[in-house]
Amino acid sequence: MLNVLRRNAGSWFIKAILSFIALTFIIWGVGNYGTKDPYVAAVIGKESISMAEFAEAAETLEKSYKEAYGQMFTPEVAQALGLKKQAINMLIRQKIMLAEAEKMGIRATNDEVQQEIASMPDFQVNGKFHSEMYRQLLAQNRMDPSQFESATRTKIIHNKLSDVLAYGASITEPEAKYLFLLSARKIRVLAVAAEPAKMKNLPAPSQEEIEAKYEQVKESFRIPARVKLAVANFTPDHFARGINPSEEEIKAYYDENTNQFLTEEQRLVSRIFIPYTPQNKEDLLEKASQALMEAAKGTAGFEAVAKKLRVSRTAEAWVTRADVPSAMATALFQAPADTIIGPMDQGGAFTLAHVSRIQFPEMIPLAQARNSVAEQIRMRKGKDLATIKAYEAHPQAVVLKDIDKALVTHGIKASKTGWLGEEVSTEASTQIVQDALMLSVGEVGPIKTIGDIHYLYQVLEKEDSRIPPLDHIRPQILALVTKDQQTAAARAAAQKVLSESKTASELEANAKKAGLLLENTGWFAPLVENLPWTLTQVTDTYIRKDLALLSPQSLLIQKIYETPGGVNIAVAFLEEQIASEADWATSKNYFIQGIQEQNRKNLIDGFIVDRMKQYKVEIMQEDLK
**Any idea which of 77-91, 467-481, 503-517, 572-586 has the lowest mean pLDDT?**
77-91
Percentages helix, strand, coil for the chain (3-state, rounded to 5) are: 50, 20, 30
Answer yes or no: is pLDDT of 84 > 70: yes
Separation of CA 69 from chain center? 13
- How many angstroms separate the CA atoms of 328 and 122, rounded? 27
pLDDT, residue 525, reads: 94
pLDDT band at 193 (very low <50, low <70, confident <90, very high): very high
* Residues 609, 611, 617: CA angle, nearest 5 degrees: 95
Angle between helices 299-309 and 281-294 in degrees, nearest 10: 150
Average of per-residue pLDDT across 585-598: 90
pLDDT tens, residue by residue, 366-393: 888 899 999 999 999 999 999 999 999 9
Beginning with the edge strand found earlier in the chain, give each strand of the sheet holding 349-359 in spatial order.
317-319, 266-275, 349-359, 339-345
Contact 16, 155 (CB under 8 A): yes
Task: Return the C-alpha torsion angle 12, 16, 20, 24, nearest 10.
Answer: 0
Average of per-residue pLDDT across 468-491: 95
Contact 339, 242 (CB under 8 A): no
- Mean residue pLDDT of the chain comes to 85
- How many angstroms separate the CA atoms of 436 and 447, rounded? 11
pLDDT, residue 4, reads: 36
Separation of CA 43 from chain center? 25
| Residue 347 DSSP label | S
- How many angstroms separate the CA atoms of 134 and 113, rounded? 14
Contact 348, 275 (CB under 8 A): yes
Contact 96, 48 (CB under 8 A): no
pLDDT, residue 625, reads: 62
Higher local confidence (pLDDT), 479 or 322: 479
pLDDT tens, residue by residue, 418-441: 898 877 667 668 889 989 999 999
pLDDT band at 192 (very low <50, low <70, confident <90, very high): very high
What pTM, to 2 d.p., does this model score? 0.54
Average of per-residue pLDDT across 340-357: 83
- How many angstroms separate the CA atoms of 262 and 604, rounded? 57
Distances from the Cα of 463 to the Cαs of 227, 459, 564, in angstroms?
A: 6, 11, 36
pLDDT, residue 522, reads: 94
Phi, psi of 349, rounded to the nearest 5 degrees: -160, 145
pLDDT tens, residue by residue, 11-47: 444 444 344 333 333 333 334 434 445 678 888 888 8
Contact 43, 617 (CB under 8 A): yes
Higher local confidence (pLDDT), 59 or 299: 59
- How many angstroms separate the CA atoms of 231 and 226, rounded? 15
SS3 161: helix
pLDDT tens, residue by residue, 274-307: 888 888 888 888 877 777 776 666 677 788 877 8
Residue ranges of alpha helices (H) inside 41-126 are 51-69, 75-81, 83-103, 110-118
Neighbour-count burial of 131, counting CB atoms closer than 10 A to its CB (0-12 exposed, 13-18 middle, 19+ buried)? exposed
- How many angstroms separate the CA atoms of 95 and 617, rounded? 11
Average of per-residue pLDDT across 490-502: 95
Backbone CA torsion sign across 151, 156, 159, 164: negative
